[in-house]
């Protein structure tokens, strides 16, 4: 695999980024990915400021390779957390779920590289205007929060490539070397992977969550909660209640109440696989084993090389 603008931007061996994930990507997962040659991201979205500081310190002890932080911009204590990130000397931040304009200048002034996650060409252009260093374009196959418009990775990547010139990372439905090659053919220079790493040994998701996710089949997840913040969820008991409420036209407030507090913590971290929110991507249906991160990355690279050789025959 050759070096490109993404490997050069972050100083990494492979253009493979582990997406920041609430309740999943603490220092164990993120440092394993960075140590294996990718870019690990701490998922700040589910961490109190004190917890984030702890993870930053543990991350520094666990790897001397490049790593970063994913910061969803709807984070309640956003200003406190941006200050912590700057004070702690973090070098790379991936922002999501908000305007790329708001924090890019502040991070750049502190010498931090900024990448923003989007799900449409329109927002990709806003990222370029805001001066971010790279974009993650995420199709609606992806796990976690997602674009309402339901644009797939295959549709999104070539259009974002055409609309912008800055380095482009593809996300959504990528869990093999062949898929990495496919998005490269569409114009991406790197991949951001969530689901596959969420189901690794080093992920801090509960074992019950991981086991449930590796038994999913095609069609077992659905994009839902479009009235609040669209998220792809496993069809469990909680999902069925949400779907029924949505079908009878429930308001955003009613849906919030139904979801209750800390639904994703309950589902992902505590392992309540029926009454918790189980966020995972469509591609989970192709994953059947919980493997260590180093093996996952080796297999991605091998798979990429095999797929490349095959299509050049």
Ligand X SMILES: Cc1cc2nc3c(=O)[nH]c(=O)nc-3n(C[C@H](O)[C@H](O)[C@H](O)COP(=O)(O)O)c2cc1C
Q: Return residues touching ligand X (CB under 6 A).
A: 19-22, 24, 43, 45, 70, 72, 96, 117, 138, 141-144, 171-174, 192-195, 198, 268, 279-281, 283
> Residue 87: which of 71, 103, 107 has the closest Cα?
107
For ligand X, the closer of residues 178 and 250 by Cβ is 178
Find the length of the chain: 313
For ligand X, the closer of residues 63 and 209 by Cβ is 209
The nearest distance, CB 313 to ligand X, in angstroms, is: 29
Owner of token pair 């061996």: 13
The nearest distance, CB 248 to ligand X, in angstroms, is: 28
Residue 67 neighbours by CB distance under 10 Å: 27
Q: Indicate the residue whose CB is closest to ligand X.
A: 194
Any residues with CB less than 8 A from the CB of 74 and at least 6 apart, and which?
97, 98, 229
Residue 129: both structure tokens together: 């205007």
For ligand X, the closer of residues 96 and 206 by Cβ is 96
Any residues with CB less than 8 A from the CB of 262 and at least 6 apart, and which?
none
For ligand X, the closer of residues 15 and 173 by Cβ is 173
For ligand X, the closer of residues 24 and 180 by Cβ is 24
The nearest distance, CB 115 to ligand X, in angstroms, is: 10
The nearest distance, CB 244 to ligand X, in angstroms, is: 23
The nearest distance, CB 200 to ligand X, in angstroms, is: 12
Residue 129 neighbours by CB distance under 10 Å: 11
Q: Are strands 67-72 and 40-43 parallel, antiparallel or unpaired?
A: parallel
As a whole number of angstroms, the distance between CA 35 and CA 46 comes to 23
The nearest distance, CB 189 to ligand X, in angstroms, is: 16
For ligand X, the closer of residues 44 and 255 by Cβ is 44
As a whole number of angstroms, the distance between CA 101 and CA 120 comes to 16
């Amino acid at each position: 695999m050759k070096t490109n603008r993404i490997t050069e931007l972050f100083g990494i061996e492979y253009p493979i980024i582990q997406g920041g994930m609430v309740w999943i990507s603490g220092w164990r997962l993120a440092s394993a990915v960075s140590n294996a040659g990718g870019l690990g991201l701490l998922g700040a979205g589910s961490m109190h400021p004190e917890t984030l500081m702890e993870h930053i310190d543990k991350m520094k002890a666990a790897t001397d390779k490049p790593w970063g932080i994913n910061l969803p911009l709807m984070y309640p204590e956003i200003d406190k957390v941006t200050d912590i990130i700057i004070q702690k000397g973090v070098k790379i931040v991936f922002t999501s779920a908000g305007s790329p304009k708001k924090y890019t200048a502040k991070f750049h002034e502190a010498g931090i590289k900024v990448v923003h996650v989007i799900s449409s060409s329109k927002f990709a252009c806003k990222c370029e205007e805001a001066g971010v260093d790279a974009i993650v374009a995420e199709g609606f196959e992806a796990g976690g929060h997602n674009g309402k418009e339901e644009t797939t990775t295959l549709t999104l990547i070539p259009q974002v490539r055409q609309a912008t010139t800055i380095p482009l990372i593809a996300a959504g439905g990528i869990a093999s070397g062949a898929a990495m090659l496919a998005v490269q053919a569409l114009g991406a220079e790197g991949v951001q992977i969530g689901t596959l790493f969420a189901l690794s040994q080093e992920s801090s998701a509960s074992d019950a969550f991981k086991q449930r996710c590796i038994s999913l089949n095609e069609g077992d997840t659905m994009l839902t909660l479009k009235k609040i913040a669209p998220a792809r969820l496993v069809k469990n008991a909680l999902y069925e209640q949400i779907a029924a409420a949505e079908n009878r036209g429930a308001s955003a407030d009613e849906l919030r109440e139904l979801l209750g507090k800390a639904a994703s913590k309950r589902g992902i971290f505590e392992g309540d696989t029926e009454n918790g929110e189980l966020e995972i991507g469509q591609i989970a249906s192709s994953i059947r084993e919980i493997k260590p991160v180093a093996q996952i990355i080796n297999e991605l690279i091998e798979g990429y090389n095999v797929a490349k050789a095959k299509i050049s025959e």
